[in-house]
Structure 1
Amino acid sequence: MNLLIQIFINGILQGGFYIIIALGLALTWGILNIPNLTHGTFIVLGGYITWYLYNNFNIDPLLNLPIVALIMFILGYIIQRLLINFVIKAPKFNTLLLTFGLDMLLTNIIQLIFLTNSYIINPIYASKSITFGDFLFPEIKLIAFFIGIFLAIGMWFFLLYTKLGYSIRATSQNKIIVRFCGINPGHLYAITFAISSAISGIAGAFYGMIFQINPYIGPMLTTKSFIISSIGGLNNPINIIFGAILLGIVESLTTLYIGPTFTDLFSFSILVLIFFFRPNGLMGKVR
């Protein structure tokens, strides 16, 4: 019984980490309807930036988070404003092609700079656990869990109760009307994409402390983010919590009873079932 409870704890904490991974994609694809295939590579880039700052300047990875988020925010704004904005009005296939090509470009740049080596960010707390009774709570996953919850609730509040959030949602619904209100849709799209990129950078920092980063894991992270977003509903930040924790628990149970080789198989099975029975996600859409 204790083993099963520990597996559920591991799954919930893994889900907290998955919240951070999926939030950026939920924002760009769900709110702006931009299928960003570079999402996973942005996470990888955030991980490499964190690793570089930690190993070369001895800055603690958690203290690195604002720096990484700022760097990724600027990068995301530039990419959206100078590249993706030109295909916003085009068919979604054009956006897919552009972000796919951009993903390949960024992957090769990362490989050129950091080679093909795998790195892990290993501060002392990354390998420590808190013991509560008979159960273990890995410190880094516990931190990621609370930050993931905070970011999801913060994004929900930002979108629904701030002036900029109102403007972003209005722009996603009707770009023509908001122009008459004095709102620049191109700037708002870039700001939203930049926020998504900043969250991806934070996700990369935690990924590097939990797993190993290498230049080629981007597509896998994009796919996993899409699965999580699809479970909760693509444009609902709060429901990302539900989708991420559900996936974390399913993967933990699969690892225990079937084997780690089959975790991705079960993840994709969930996605197929959701598309078949609940195309808008298990929790529906936020209004």
Structure 2
Amino acid sequence: MELLLQTLLNGILAAGVYALVATGLALSLGVVGIVNFAHGEFLMLGAFLSYFLFLLRGVDPLLALGPAFLAAFLVGALAYRGLIRPVLRAPELNQMLLTFGLSVLLQNLALLLFGADTRVVAPPYQAATLTLGPFFLGAVPLGAFLLSLGLLLFLHLFLTQSRLGLAVRAVAQNRLAPGLLGIETDRIYLLAFGLSAGLAGVAGVMLSVLLYASPTVGFLYTLKSFAIVALAGLGNLKGVVPAALLLAVAEALVSTYVPGGGGLVEAVFFLVLFLALVLRSWAAARALGGV
């Protein structure tokens, strides 16, 4: 029983970063309406920025969170202005090919600049653990979980309590009506896409300590985020946290209880994505059959 509870606890802690990355993807999809395959590359940017700030200046990863958010936000805003905005009215396939091409470009650019080696940020507290009875909590996973929840709560308050956040929600619900009320839709799109990239950049800082920084680290989390968003419902921010919990706990259980689970854990999101699509198709078919 203790092993099961420890496994569930590990999964819950991992869900914080998953939810943070997936929320950014859900935000760009729900507001801008574009499937961004390059979302993970903003995470990669945050991870490498954290690594080089720590390596060259000794900057603690906690202090790198702000610069990573700003850098990823600015890169995301520039990507929106230069690449995303011109194809907003293009067919969805063109949009997806564009973001996929951007992902490949950024990955290979990082490979040329930094090489394929993985880099780890190792602050003094990296291996610190907290003991709660028979359970052990890593200080870094716990801190990443709490920071992720704090950022998600702040985002929720921004979207529900501020005028600018309400404008973002209005554009997400109806892309034409807000313009009649004086809301500049293009600026809202830029803000939403920049926030999406900024959240990914912050998650990248956390992963530079939890996991590593590498040119391909973002691709894996893009795939995980798509599984979470599909499970939560496209553009549904409220469902992201429960979906992230489900995926992270499922991965933890597979890793602990399935023989050779360490090698299979990265395929769990494929199963989650498959089941989400099948169940949604079944529900839609049943609803149509009942009409």
Shift of 1:280: 11
Residues 23 and 106 of structure 1: is their aligned pair in 2 closer, same or farther, counting only changes over 3 Å?
A: same
Q: CA deviation at 1:237?
A: 2.5
Q: Tell me if 1:73 matches 2:73.
A: yes
Asked if 1:238 is matched to 2:241, the reply is no
Offset from partner CA, 1:224-273 (integer Å, 9 cap, x none): 01112222223232321111111111111101111111223332112111
1:1-287 matched pairs, under 5 angstroms? 1-258=1-258, 259-278=261-280
Aligned length, in residue pairs: 281
**1:173 CA displacement:** 3.5
Query: What SS class does the counterpart of residue 266 from structure 2 fall into?
Result: helix
Contact between 1:45 and 1:110, CA under 8 Å: does it hold in 2?
A: no
Structure-2 separation of matches of 1:168 and 1:221: 25
What displacement does 1:145 show? Answer: 0.9
- Which amino acid letter does the alignment assign opposite residue 74 of structure 2? I
Q: CA deviation at 1:50?
A: 0.7
TM-score by structure 1 length? Answer: 0.92
- RMSD between aligned alpha carbons? 1.8
* Separation (CA, whole Å) in 2 of partners of 1:252 and 1:149: 20
User: Counterpart of 1:117 in 2: which secondary structure?
Assistant: coil
Question: Shift of residue 187 of structure 1?
Answer: 1.5
CA distance in 1, matches of 2:239, 2:282: 12
Once the two structures are superposed, residues 156-189 of structure 1 have per-residue CA deviations (whole angstroms, 9 ceiling, x without a partner) of 2322332112212222343333223222222111
CA distance in 2, matches of 1:221, 1:125: 25
Deviation track 1:44-99 (CA, whole Å, cap 9, x = no partner) reads 11100110111111110011101110111111111101210111111111111111
Identity %: 34
1:217 Cα shift?
A: 2.8
CA distance in structure 1 between the aligned counterparts of 2:242 and 2:21, rounded to whole angstroms: 14
Retained in 1: the 8 A contact 2:25–2:196?
yes
One-letter amino acid of the structure 2 residue matched with residue 33 of structure 1? G
Q: Structure 2: which 5+ runs fail to align?
A: 284-291
Partner of 2:287: none
Between 48-57 and 267-276, the greater mean CA deviation after superposition: 267-276
Give the Cα separation in 2 of the matches to 1:241 and 1:147. Answer: 14
1: CA distance between counterparts of 2:111 and 2:282?
37
* TM-score normalised by length of structure 2: 0.91
Change (3 A) 1:146 1:238: farther
SS at match of 1:103: helix
| 3-state SS in 2 of match to 1:130 | strand
